[in-house]
């Protein structure tokens, strides 16, 4: 089964391309202290808005800081936000979906109505409202994105539990006296991990995009901490004389989100060839 998965995955050229982008992002974020040519917070007023050159391949910003170095360090922020926010969403969504699908009846009705209510709120505007009340810090950003992104995962896990809870291995576990918690987390949940893995991969892309949008609006990651979103903000303010401040971080966000989406779709197609 595992060998079939890898065979189908490696045959999917778009999925392989997406995985290479993700691996490159990991490598860049891990090696940032060694590969960044400058300190991302170093101000050089003699190099304000300098165009791309051999000394500064991606140019400099309005304070003379090297854009390439800030983008390399910004990759760490993107990964941190993507994984922590998605981890929170996966944890909440998996637990609520498992409980809803396993117990059914009024428990399922209450949880699903709560999901429906949450889905009625525009997620991005809900995040904006909460951020406006709280201090705009990276930890608040990650927690809020996670707390507003679990609804789809809940529905996926619930559907898997509804189909799995009547299988023979679950009935056998009940016969030998296994508790509900053991059946849910030991017997059923591992069999629903395929859907969770796909949702997690796509969720990371969504979290990175949301963080970039919030930083672009000035209520996300705050300067001098580098992020792709706040580099874009500087680009907006200097679009007529410093095109590189918009082009390079914009391309980084585009390629990263596209890479995660291709990887998630590749995993989904490889786990279920009927979707291809």
66 strand-pairing partners: 60
pLDDT at 1 (0 to 100): 52
SS3 of 69-92: the string is HHHHHHHHHHHHHHHHHHHHHHHH
Integer Cα distance of 137 and 8 in angstroms = 41
Phi, psi of 66 (to 5 degrees): -70, 120
Overall CATH class of domain 60-262? mainly alpha
Quick: pLDDT tens for 256-275. 989 988 888 888 877 765 54
User: Hey, where are the domains in the chain?
Assistant: 60-262
Sequence-separated (6 or more) residues with CB below 8 Å from residue 34: none
pLDDT band at 190 (very low <50, low <70, confident <90, very high): confident
pLDDT at 90 (0 to 100): 93
Q: Do 26 and 79 touch, CB atoms closer than 8 A? A: yes
CA neighbours within 13 Å on the CB side: how many for 114? 15
- Quote the tokens at residue 6: 């890898």
Closest residue by Cα to residue 5 from 200, 190, 272, 202:
272
Q: Do 242 and 235 touch, CB atoms closer than 8 A? A: yes
Indicate the pTM of the whole model.
0.86
Q: Quick check: 276 pLDDT over 60?
A: no
pLDDT at 166 (0 to 100): 80
pLDDT band at 125 (very low <50, low <70, confident <90, very high): confident
Sequence-separated (6 or more) residues with CB below 8 Å from residue 189: 94, 98
């Amino acid at each position: 089964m595992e060998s079939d998965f890898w065979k189908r995955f490696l045959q999917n050229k778009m999925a392989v391309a997406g995985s290479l982008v993700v691996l490159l992002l990991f490598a860049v974020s891990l090696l940032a202290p060694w590969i960044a040519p400058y300190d991302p917070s170093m101000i050089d007023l003699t190099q304000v808005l300098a165009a791309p050159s051999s000394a500064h391949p991606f140019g400099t910003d309005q304070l003379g800081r090297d854009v390439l170095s800030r983008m390399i360090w910004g990759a760490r922020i993107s990964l941190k936000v993507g994984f922590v926010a998605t981890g929170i969403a996966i944890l909440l969504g998996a637990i609520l979906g498992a409980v809803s699908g396993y117990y059914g009846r009024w428990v399922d009705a209450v949880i699903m109505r709560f999901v429906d209510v949450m889905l009625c709120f525009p997620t991005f505007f809900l995040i904006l409202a909460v951020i406006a009340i709280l201090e705009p810090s990276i930890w608040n950003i990650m927690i809020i994105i996670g707390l507003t992104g679990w609804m789809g995962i809940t529905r996926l896990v619930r559907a898997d539990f509804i189909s799995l809870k009547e299988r023979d291995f679950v009935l056998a576990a009940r016969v030998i006296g296994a508790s509900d918690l053991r059946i849910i987390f030991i017997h059923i949940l591992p069999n629903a991990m395929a859907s969770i893995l796909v949702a997690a991969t796509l969720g990371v892309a969504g979290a990175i995009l949301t963080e970039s949008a919030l930083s672009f609006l000035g209520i996300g990651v705050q300067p001098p901490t580098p992020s792709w979103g706040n580099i874009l903000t500087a680009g907006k303010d200097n679009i007529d004389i410093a095109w590189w401040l918009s082009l390079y971080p914009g391309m980084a966000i585009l390629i990263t989100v596209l890479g995660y989406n291709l990887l998630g779709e590749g995993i989904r197609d490889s786990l279920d060839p009927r979707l291809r």
